[in-house]
Amino acid sequence: MSDTREPGAGASARPDRRPTAAHGATPPSTEAPVDRLGFRPAVIVFLSFALAYFFSTLVRAITATISPSLSVELALNASDLGLLAGGYFLGFALTQLPLGNWLDRYGPRRVILAFLSVAVLGCVAFALATSFSGLLTARVLTGMGVSACLMAPLTGYRRWLAPASQMRANSWMLMTGSLGMVAATLPVQWLMPLMGWRGLFWALAALIVLSMVGIAAAVPPWRQAMAPLSGPASATPPGYAFIWRHPYFRQMLPIGFVNYGGMVAVQTLWAGPWMVKVAGYTPQQSAAGLFGINVSMLGAFWLWGIVNPRLVQRGLAAERLIAWGVPLSLGVLAAIVLLGAGAGWPMWALFCVSSTFMALSQPAVALALPAEAAGRALSAYNLAIFSGVFTAQWGIGLVIDAFGALGWSEPDRYRGAMGVFLLCCVLAYLGFLRPYLRSRACHNILQQG
């Protein structure tokens, strides 16, 4: 991470980008006081949060690697696997709205420690489960427990770091998450014969406890001085209504739910079965393919962390980069559907990497709203993303089974389901593009005037 005092610039990093009276909204409120961290404390805080996020993404993605064992042991079909993987994201989504309020009120350290305690219980419950319903309940519980692992640090970064450094920290947190997904592939495959999937979840419970110790020791308390300034002119409206009404939030909503959520669904579940059922990989080759996909994602987010501050300083807004980048991912997904068995892990890696443009939307949404509402803004957007993940993971499984009922071959079922997903992604992108082009046209008219 760079010096936290570096200035930010550009539309995507403006903290005062809020609804104006021209949009029929209230005037912007005064920014809450900030408490910037120095370089060394910022690095320590980042690493403590990153360790917890690493384990949260490992436990998120592990179902793709252990799904063959779960399918054999508990006789799970495609829709069962989709629901099991999606159960994590359902639990994740259920907590997002209260999480945002608690983050703004109590701060990242207290909230994440309480939530991680629930994640430990979820991992233990998964290790002890003997039925599909038990596994599903445990996954929902685990999803609820780790749901603060990204939102808590991003809420803190909104007040502790300069805008350009926030964009970098966001990308490198996602890089850490990709590292967790890498660990959920070949390393998990290697450990399965030694520990079994139950032993792996016992180990995850212990490692999450270890990350809690690091957070408790390193993360500063939430200072009451960072609360909103007193007085009606400076108070941020309570609740989520003003966030849901915010034009920038609404602009980012379609791609967050469908495109970004769908990409995570594919990365954490459906890329693995595709490689086995369509491309003809063995389970070991599939695990190696998932390893390659997640290493590619790790590299992509590392590069985003390097270039983001420069892009911000040059005034390249997140929405502009997204408008350019999303068509790349749509083209790759179309090629995957057309290639079928010829689309192995390199094509899925290219799809996931080209989808990382959408990750810029998350810090941009936080920067577009007041600092004292950062927890609510981030959690509301995260709710949209992970509701999309749950919908895509379960929905793709349902479509695969539905095409099977029509007599389609297994490869054609998967290709058809990905074709339906592609159509949804195109429609969501158009939903994002329309207000983006309108805002660009208005901006050009104002400049000419």
Q: What is the predicted pLDDT for the residue at 234?
A: 47
Q: What percent of the chain has pLDDT over 70?
A: 88
Asked if 31 contacts 16 with a C-beta cutoff of 8 angstroms, the reply is yes
Highest mean pLDDT among 10-19, 174-183, 217-226, 250-259: 250-259
Phi-psi region of 51 (alpha: psi -120 to 50; beta: other; left: phi over 0): alpha
297 falls within a domain: yes
Token duo for residue 231: 């007085």
**How many domains is the chain built from?**
1
Structural domain range at position 134: 35-225+240-448
pLDDT reported for residue 15: 38
Is 24 a domain residue? no
Assigned domain for 205 exists: yes
Helices and strands of the chain, counted as H and E runs: 17, 0
* Pick from 271, 265, 247, 269: nearest CA to 388: 265
pLDDT by residue (tens digit) across 71-128? 777 777 777 877 887 788 788 878 888 998 898 888 899 999 999 999 999 999 999 9
Residue 64 has pLDDT above 70, yes or no: yes
Per-residue pLDDT, 43: 86
423 CB contacts (<8 Å, ≥6 apart)?
none
Dist CA 374 CA 100 (whole Å): 8
3 state DSSP class of 96: helix
> Among the listed ranges 24-33, 365-374, 401-410, which one has the minimum average pLDDT value?
24-33
pLDDT digits (tens, 9 = 90+) for 199-224: 999 999 999 999 999 999 988 887 75
Phi, psi of 96, deg, nearest 5: -65, -45
Lowest-confidence range among 4-8, 100-104, 354-358?
4-8
With respect to residue 1, please indicate whether it lies within any of the assigned structural domains: no
CATH classification at residue 275? 1.20.1250.20
Domain assignment present for residue 185? The answer is yes
- 336 versus 20: which is more confidently predicted? 336
State pLDDT tens for residues 15-37. Answer: 334 333 333 333 333 344 457 77
Asked if residue 3 belongs to a domain, the reply is no
CB atoms < 10 A from the CB of 5, how many? 13
CA angle 146, 150, 152 (to 5 degrees): 90
> Confidence class of residue 39 from pLDDT cuts 50, 70 and 90?
confident
Contact call for residues 416 and 408 (beta carbons, < 8 A): yes
Residue at 372: amino acid letter: E
Torsion angles phi and psi, residue 266, rounded to 5: -70, -45
The answer to whether position 292 is within a domain reads yes
> pTM of the entire structure?
0.74
- Is 20 contained in some domain? no
**CA 235/CA 154 separation, integer angstroms:** 21
